[in-house]
């Protein structure tokens, strides 16, 4: 199929960006979206133009590197997938596709479609861990039985890939879904309960410091999340935060 691409080009963080139009022909429906951008880049390259920069790595939906706002949606039109898992069979011959970086104050553009998501890392530094040493001198793994439902819920929360689609989808650029996923994972497990109060206070403080917005329960994050992280996690984080704050 033949497509028109309208792609955000920006030389670096300081330069102003703009949408540039490209034509691309003979795209196979079996291609992944990133295969298609590879194809475009090969063509730009052969013409001596600067290829489009974009983040990507595993190309199987788990590393969280790829981002892209495609026709206004993080990770594009399909559900439950990342951009690298999006296939061109989701588009029609003759379509025009807008491709932009994830937009948020806390995610400054580095180049073209590449943004800086290190704010996510800094939130994790503030409390996204259980404070035990890695010496291996812990209790036997089966010494603490864990209710399967809680373990499964903790797992579901832990499958967050840190891609930032929740922030890009949110009109407030809130990172609540991302932060609550980690808070929930640990709050649901006996190992993590011990420092649950400090954790939620520290992580939320860092989240605010990074310039992410607040949650107004729109739910766009849950819909766009490639891993189906549930809004319930935000509710759980709010409960954790409230009880931690009251305890002082």
Partner 1 sequence: MATLDSKIPEGSLADKWTNHKNKIHLVNPANKRNIDIIVVGTGLAGGSAAATLAELGYNVKAFCFQDSPRRAHSIAAQGGINAAKNYQGDGDSNYRLFYDTVKGGDYRSRESNVYRLAEVSANIIDQCVAQGVPFAREYGGLLDNRSFGGVLVSRTFYAKGQTGQQLLLGAYSAMNRQIGRGKIKMYNRHEMLDLVVVDGKARGIIARNLVTGEIERHSAHAVVIGSGGYANVFYLSTNAMGSNATAAWKIHKKGAYFANPCYTQIHPTCIPVSGEHQSKLTLMSESLRNDGRIWVPKNLEDAKSIREGKLNPTELAEKDRDYYLERRYPSYGNLVPRDVASRAAKERCDAGFGVNKTGEAVYLDFATSFVRYGKEQARIRHLDENDTKLVEKLGKEVIENKYGNLFQMYEKIVDQNPYETPMMIYPAVHYTMGGIWVDYNLMTTVEGCYAIGEANFSDHGANRLGASALMQGLADGYFVLPYTIGNYLANDIRTGPISTNLPEFAAAENLVKSQIEHLSNNKGTKTVDYFHKKLGKIMWDKVGMARNAERLNEAIVEIAALREAFYKDVKVPGNPNSFNQELEKALRVADFLELGELFAKDALHRNESCGGHYREEYQTEDGEALRDDENFAYVAAWEYKGKPSEAILHKEELHFENIKLVTRSYK
Q: Residues 49, 198, 208, 209: which binds partner 1 (CB under 8 A)?
A: 49
Residue 237 in contact with partner 1, rule: CB under 8 A: no
Span 4-33, contacts to partner 1 by CB under 8 A? 12, 28, 30-32
| Six-digit token string for 218 | 């729109």
CA distances from 131 to 153, 162, 237 (A): 21, 21, 19
| Six-digit token string for 78 | 């399909």
CB of 236 to partner 1, least distance (A): 15
CB of 124 to partner 1, least distance (A): 5
Span 163-222, contacts to partner 1 by CB under 8 A? 185-186, 189, 191-192
Eight-state DSSP code of residue 87: B
Span 58-87, contacts to partner 1 by CB under 8 A? 58-65, 78, 80-81, 85, 87
Residue 192's Cα: distance from chain center in Å?
A: 23
Residue 1 in contact with partner 1, rule: CB under 8 A: no
Complex with partner 1: residue 62 or 172, whichever CB lies closer: 62
Burial annotation 82-95 (CB, 10 A radius, 16+ → b, else e): bbbbbbbeebeeee
Residue with tokens 């400090």: 198
Q: Residues 39, 223, 235, 244: which binds partner 1 (CB under 8 A)?
A: 39
| Six-digit token string for 150 | 């809680």
């Amino acid at each position: 199929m033949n497509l028109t691409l309208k792609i955000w080009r920006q030389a670096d963080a300081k330069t102003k960006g703009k949408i540039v139009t490209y034509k691309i022909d003979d795209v196979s429906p079996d291609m992944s979206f990133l295969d298609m951008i590879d194809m475009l880049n090969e063509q730009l390259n052969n013409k001596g133009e600067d290829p489009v920069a974009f983040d990507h790595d595993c190309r199987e939906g788990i590393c969280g590197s790829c981002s892209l706002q495609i026709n206004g949606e993080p990770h594009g039109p399909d559900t439950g997938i990342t951009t690298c898992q999006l296939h061109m069979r989701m588009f029609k011959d003759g379509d025009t596709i807008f491709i932009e970086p994830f937009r948020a104050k806390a995610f400054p553009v580095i180049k073209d479609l590449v943004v800086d998501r290190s704010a996510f890392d800094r939130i994790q530094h503030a409390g996204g861990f259980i404070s035990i040493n890695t010496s291996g001198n812990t209790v036997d793994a089966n010494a603490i039985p864990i209710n399967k439902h809680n373990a499964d819920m903790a797992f579901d929360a832990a499958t967050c890939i840190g891609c930032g689609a929740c922030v890009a989808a949110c009109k407030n650029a809130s990172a609540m879904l991302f932060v609550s996923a980690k808070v929930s994972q640990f709050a649901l497990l006996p190992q993590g309960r011990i420092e649950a109060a400090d954790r939620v206070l520290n992580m939320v403080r860092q989240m605010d410091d990074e310039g992410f917005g607040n949650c107004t329960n729109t739910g766009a994050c849950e819909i766009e999340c490639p891993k189906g992280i549930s809004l319930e996690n935000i509710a759980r984080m709010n409960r954790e935060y409230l009880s931690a704050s009251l305890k002082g």
